[in-house]
């Protein structure tokens, strides 16, 4: 049923998706089977989880009678009223969950994700699927009547929020200097042993995020054959399985080379072309680092620096710096970051507006100085 996995992340979510489908009705299995070529296992896993929440709510509320989600009748979806569906999204909007020590509600973006998932399922069942009789599962699509409310934010506001969460100015350089020169002094002897063991690997990971704008899944799936030291480029697999080649800063490539010089000795790692770049030592052998392990590495060092950040925030930092250095070259930013929507790249241009204002004031100072 499933396509051959091309990455750790895809393989991981294919397995989780396969497990979840064992609890789902046949029409959801068919939906996933038909959609897997077009959507990633991660997206489909999240969609199926949304379907499960919806089915369970319908059963709990007594709107649909069945003994389990596995036996959920497809015709029950055809007969749902608009009130039933709207009440579900009202339920989501009032749902409380604990984050940290705070009680929070689902935001509009998350509710929109639930709507998108269910709209996709209903469209499939009413338009795209074809049974043996040549017809779809049913005709009435109540979910098409549910609007997706756009979260109203200007690019400037979205950019402002990004700027608050990333390294600004030379903070990225200061952060790397901190990891290399100051962080070890804060460690206990036992902590220092682990740091010394992994310092080249961990530093290369941080440097690659800040020196190329690479995504987490792209970095975790790097193979030795993907690195071109002569041109300071790396080959990656983008979302949707698309191959691409991007530039990396010479410094980040040098940091990567320094790690590879000790990789075989420290992790007992093979050096074949298809071997993963970033590995750990597990039961005496090298094993690829998972996305979660890489996230934890980033969290650990950024938290010690005083600003806990995710790999995605390091990517945002790189993109903002790239926008500044290129004067807001949107096509270049789109190419380097793998964006398909120019509005996403524009976020980083907007996040440099404050710097542009400061630059304008400095330029104007020359004129004022001339008048004196």
Active site residues: 215, 239, 312, 315, 339, 348
Could you list the beta-strand ranges (E) of the chain: 96-99, 102-105, 227-228, 233-237, 243-247, 279-282, 285-288
Residues 6+ apart with CB under 8 A from 270: 264, 286
* Helix 108-123 × helix 82-94 angle, to 10°: 150
Sign of the dihedral defined by the CA atoms of residues 252, 258, 259, 260, in that order: positive
> Comparing C-alpha atoms, which of 125, 20, 24 is closest to residue 69?
24
State the Cα–Cα distance between residues 319 and 352, nearest whole angstrom. Answer: 10
Of 343, 317, 318, 321, residue with least CA distance to 330: 343
Neighbour tally for 229: CB within 10 Å: 13
Angle value at C-alpha 92, between 88 and 94, nearest 5 degrees: 115
């Amino acid at each position: 049923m499933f396509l051959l996995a091309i990455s750790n992340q895809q393989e991981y979510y294919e397995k989780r998706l396969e497990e979840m489908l064992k609890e789902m009705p046949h029409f959801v299995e068919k939906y996933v089977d038909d959609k897997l070529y077009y959507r990633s296992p991660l997206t489909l896993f999240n969609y199926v989880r949304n379907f499960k929440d919806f089915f369970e709510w319908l059963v709990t509320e007594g709107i649909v009678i069945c003994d389990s989600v596995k036996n959920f009748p497809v015709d029950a979806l055809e007969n749902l009223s608009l009130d039933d569906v709207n009440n579900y999204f009202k339920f989501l909007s009032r749902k409380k969950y604990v984050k940290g020590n705070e009680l929070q509600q689902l935001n509009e973006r998350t509710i929109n994700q639930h709507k998108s998932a269910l709209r996709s399922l209903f469209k499939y069942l009413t338009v795209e699927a074809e049974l043996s009789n040549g017809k779809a599962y049913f005709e009435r699509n109540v979910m098409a009547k549910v609007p997706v409310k756009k979260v109203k934010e200007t690019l400037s506001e979205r950019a402002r929020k990004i700027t608050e969460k990333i390294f600004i100015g030379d903070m990225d350089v200061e952060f790397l200097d901190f990891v290399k020169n100051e962080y070890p002094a804060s460690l206990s002897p036992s902590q220092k042993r682990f740091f010394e063991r992994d310092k080249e690997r961990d530093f290369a990971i941080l440097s690659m995020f800040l020196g190329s704008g690479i995504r987490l899944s792209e970095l975790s799936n790097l193979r030795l054959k993907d690195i071109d030291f002569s041109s300071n480029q790396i080959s990656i697999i983008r979302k949707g399985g698309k191959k691409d080649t991007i530039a990396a800063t010479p410094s980040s490539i040098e940091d990567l080379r320094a790690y590879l010089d000790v990789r075989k000795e420290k992790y007992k790692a093979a050096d074949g072309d298809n071997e993963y770049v970033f590995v750990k030592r597990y039961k005496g052998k090298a094993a690829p680092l998972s996305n979660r392990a890489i996230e934890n590495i980033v969290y650990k060092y950024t938290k010690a620096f005083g600003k806990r950040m995710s790999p995605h925030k390091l990517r945002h930092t790189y993109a903002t710096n790239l926008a500044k250095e290129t004067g807001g070259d949107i096509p270049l930013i789109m190419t380097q970051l793998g964006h398909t929507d120019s509005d996403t790249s524009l976020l980083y241009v907007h996040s440099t507006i404050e710097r542009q204002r400061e630059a304008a004031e400095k330029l104007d100072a020359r004129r004022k100085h001339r008048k004196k």
